[in-house]
Amino acid sequence: MGLSAQQGVYIPAGDTVWLSTNTNVGIFGDMTNNGILGSQPNSTFYFLSKLWTNGNAATLPDESTDGLSGTGGVFVFSGTGQQRVFGGYSLIAKTGASFPNLQINNISGLWLDDFSDLKIRNNLHFANGSVYLNGWNMMVGNNTPGSITGYNDKRFVVTGPLPAGGLLYRAAINNAAGKVVFPVGTDDNSYSPAAVLMTGGKDDFGVRTYDSVYTIAAAGTAYKDSFVNKSWNIQRINNNGGEVDVILQHMESSELPTYAANRDSSYITQFVGGVWDRLLTIPNKPLPGTLTESSMSEAAVMHLRHFTSLGASEYMAKTILVSNAKPAMFLSFEAYRISPVIAQLDWTTSREVNNLRFEVERRYEREETFTKIASIPTKAVNGNSSVPIRYTYQDLNDYDDWTYYRIKAIGKNGQVVYSEIRAVPPFIQVNVYPNPNNGNFKVTIHGMRGDMIIQIRDTWSQVVRSYEAKSGDTDIKITDLPSGAYFLVLFQKETMKVAYTCKVIVAQ
């Protein structure tokens, strides 16, 4: 048989329409089913319009005696522009219409219409496009988890970015079902699926993923670092017993900076007793993501964690071992003299994670090791910050040779990270007079330690004059220098480190 209409198709209560084996039917108008729309195996019902509605009395039986436990046909949502379905099913009441098999073949996807869940008894197949829950629920399976096929990071069930909303459910998960995948994501470009393996017992599981990780799971302040920017809500309808392995997968693009830098020490964290649990060791090393039925467009990461039991509604996320997190990331560090007896140190952190304090360490030229000279508490609230923070310290230092400084950040867990090392020269007082001049001027140097090389360079950094000076105070007379701009540069002769530089102007 064949059905087609442009103004819509309506099956009233009490009426029956059957798709026999090997039958293909196309509907080009909106569909309203309030009766019986049965299908035999190997039949295909193509829906190419905008809205499919299952009424309160609607059923979509298969060839089995009870109309629910057989194979049935395939209902293909294939059209141009977004399609919608009013499934006519209630997850809470566990009653209403259900499709035997449903295929998505529409790049704009299929949206669940308001005030109704959707149930698919056997197979949900993604050929093109995604399913958008729109705040409602979708159940796949009937006395078994059923199957979901064809999914990848561009074709999946979109749950939405907020903590509240609908879930993708799989029915009757038990040990025999093996790994059951929930191909979900928060939006078209943020695939973050889950999988469940259950040992003992049988239960219906639901999964929802949403953006951000909040201090109290579904509310509070969002963490800005050290997490993947995703949370998962896993629910059990019957809450039957049994140990559970949970697998969560995310795209690398959703990793926050400190997490990304410490991915090898990451794990699944569970919200328990009002806090995200902090593990001391990693349960399982992260692996490349494989919760897909075809290749993905970008890299993904997968984690597994075993739970001896799970409650009716659990929240999970991904974080890193605190013991492995660097307490600070240095954006800059500079050290320089501001007087004959004071060296100033300035450093800025780009982020801090459970940081406790900084220690200023110093080493004089003739020493072999650094020595702690000061302890500076972190300015980050609770030791955590993802914005730049600036610090300053002044050291009383009249050492007559080079001094070396570094900053040591110490985390609350004892983790340590160092800044780069900066060198500060001894204080040297240099006078050039007159300046500007007519090519004849004097240079006096006070406080010079060690032999020096004195060079006059032009603006191209070419050496115009060069002098040597012994350790101690020095007076040098410069004559007949052509007009122009120059730089007076002092080097330590032994190391050729720059000790001083200034600009000289010759105007004739």
pLDDT digit string (tens) for 110-122?
Answer: 999 999 999 999 9
- The model's confidence at residue 87, banded by pLDDT at 50, 70 and 90, is very high
Q: What is the pLDDT of residue 3?
A: 45
CB 443 within 8 A of CB 488: yes
The sign one gets for the Cα dihedral 424, 425, 426, 430 is negative
Calculate mean pLDDT across residues 464-481. Answer: 87
Q: Does residue 310 have a pLDDT over 60?
A: yes
Q: Which CA distances in Å does 104 have to 34, 182, 422?
A: 23, 16, 62
173 and 276 inside one domain: yes
Tell me which residue has tokens 């928060």. 186
Q: Are residues 114 and 255 in the same domain?
A: no
More confident residue, 339 or 210: 210
- Residue 411 pLDDT class (50, 70, 90 cuts): confident
The pLDDT of 315-340, averaged and rounded, is 88
pLDDT of residue 326: 81
For the residues 37-54, what does the mean pLDDT come to? 97
Domain shared by 219 and 248, yes or no: yes
Q: CA–CA separation, 250 vs 194, rounded Å?
A: 9
Residue 463 belongs to a domain with what CATH number?
2.60.40.1930
Residues 6+ apart with CB under 8 A from 164: 135, 218
Q: 3-class DSSP state for residue 376?
A: strand
Q: CB within 8 A of 313, min separation 6: which ones?
A: 233, 234, 235, 236
Q: What SS3 state is found at 97?
A: coil
Residue 72 and residue 102 in one domain = yes
> In terms of domains, do 251 and 263 share one?
yes
- Shared domain for 137 and 242, answered yes or no, is no
Share the mean pLDDT of the chain: 92
Q: Phi and psi (nearest 5°) for 295?
A: -60, 150
CA 78 to CA 235: how far, in whole Å? 31
Give the mean pLDDT of 460-474. 87
The predicted pLDDT at position 302 comes to: 98
Q: Are residues 418 and 447 in the same domain?
A: no
Last residue of a domain, one of 424, 441, 467: 424
> In the predicted model, is pLDDT for residue 266 greater than 80?
yes
Q: State the number of CA atoms in the 13 A half-sphere of 237 facing the CB.
A: 19
Query: At which of 325, 343, 358 does a domain end?
Result: 325
More confident site: 428 or 137: 137
The confidence band for 324, taking pLDDT boundaries of 50, 70 and 90, is: low
CB neighbours (10 Å) of residue 45?
A: 25
Q: Which two tokens stand for residue 97?
A: 């219409």
- Residue pair 450/492 in contact (Cβ under 8 Å)? The answer is yes
Mean pLDDT of 331-336: 94
Domain CATH number, residue 339: 2.60.40.10
Question: What stretches of 224-299 adopt beta strand conformation (E)?
Answer: 230-236, 243-251, 266-272, 275-276, 287-288
Q: In terms of domains, do 138 and 257 share one?
A: no
Query: Do 468 and 387 have their domain in common?
Result: no
The pLDDT-based confidence of 323 (bands split at 50, 70, 90) is low
- pLDDT tens-digit map of 376-405: 999 998 888 878 999 999 999 988 788 999
DSSP 426: P
* 256 and 376 belong to one structural domain: no
Q: Do 420 and 433 belong to one domain?
A: no
Q: What is the mean pLDDT of residues 271-286?
A: 90
The residue out of 297, 325, 353 marking a domain boundary is 325
How far is residue 232 from each of residues 102, 225, 270, 357, 470, measured CA to CA in Å? Answer: 25, 17, 10, 34, 72
pLDDT on residue 398: 87
The pLDDT score that the predictor gives to residue 1 is 41
- Read off the pLDDT band of 5 (50, 70, 90): very low
Report how far residue 484's alpha carbon sits from residue 81's, in angstroms, rounded to the nearest whole number.
73
Does residue 167 sit in helix, strand or coil?
coil
Instruction: Give pLDDT, residue 4.
Output: 43
Partners of 444 in the β-ladder? 431, 475
Residue 237 structural domain: 143-157+164-325
Q: Are 403 and 364 in contact (CB under 8 A)?
A: yes
Q: How many domains does the chain divide into?
A: 4
The answer on 337 and 305 residing in a single domain is: no
Alpha-carbon gap, residue 150 to 330, rounded angstroms? 45
Cα torsion 105, 106, 109, 114: sign? negative
